Amino acid sequence: MSVEATVLPAAMLGISGLVVLAAGEYGGELELLVETSESVTGCPRCGVVAVARGRREHLVRDIPSAGRPVLLVWRKRLWRCAEPACPQRTRSVHLIKRRQYVR
């Protein structure tokens, strides 16, 4: 998918910092492969520049779009603090806040 083709789906998500890598419909469900776009970040505890340590996939169900269920396959970047004395070992970025439901 080209960069131009990812702009509209990313804008529709309304979540800054995510890039849409691929989109497709599978079994009547819209599936978007997304990942965080940041390339450099600091440790939240000590401020040392963190080292990228790979990615982990998380599945996130979103509200329906055009009558189809939406599934985000989110490839979250994992970070490791480079400071040996820092208690923060690894972390990932949380761009999507957990929704609260009223029963």
Question: Is pTM beyond 0.75 here?
Answer: no
Instruction: Please give the residue range of the domain that contains residue 20.
Output: 3-92
Distances (CA, A) of 27 to 33, 43, 65, 71: 16, 41, 15, 12
Query: How many CA atoms, within 13 angstroms, populate the side-chain half-sphere of residue 81?
Result: 15
Instruction: Report the number of distinct structural domains present in the chain.
Output: 1
Answer whether residue 97 is part of any domain.
no
Answer whether residue 101 is part of any domain.
no
Query: CA-to-CA distance for 47 and 67, rounded, in angstroms?
Result: 44
pLDDT value of residue 45: 81
**Encoding tokens for residue 49?**
């520049």
User: pLDDT per residue over 6-49, tens digit each?
Assistant: 455 555 666 667 788 888 888 889 898 988 877 777 888 888 88
The model's confidence at residue 2, banded by pLDDT at 50, 70 and 90, is very low
Answer whether residue 19 is part of any domain.
yes
Answer whether residue 41 is part of any domain.
yes
Between the CA atoms of 32, 60, 44 and 36, what dihedral angle is there, to the nearest 10 degrees? 0
Answer whether residue 100 is part of any domain.
no
* Mean pLDDT value of segment 62-82: 85
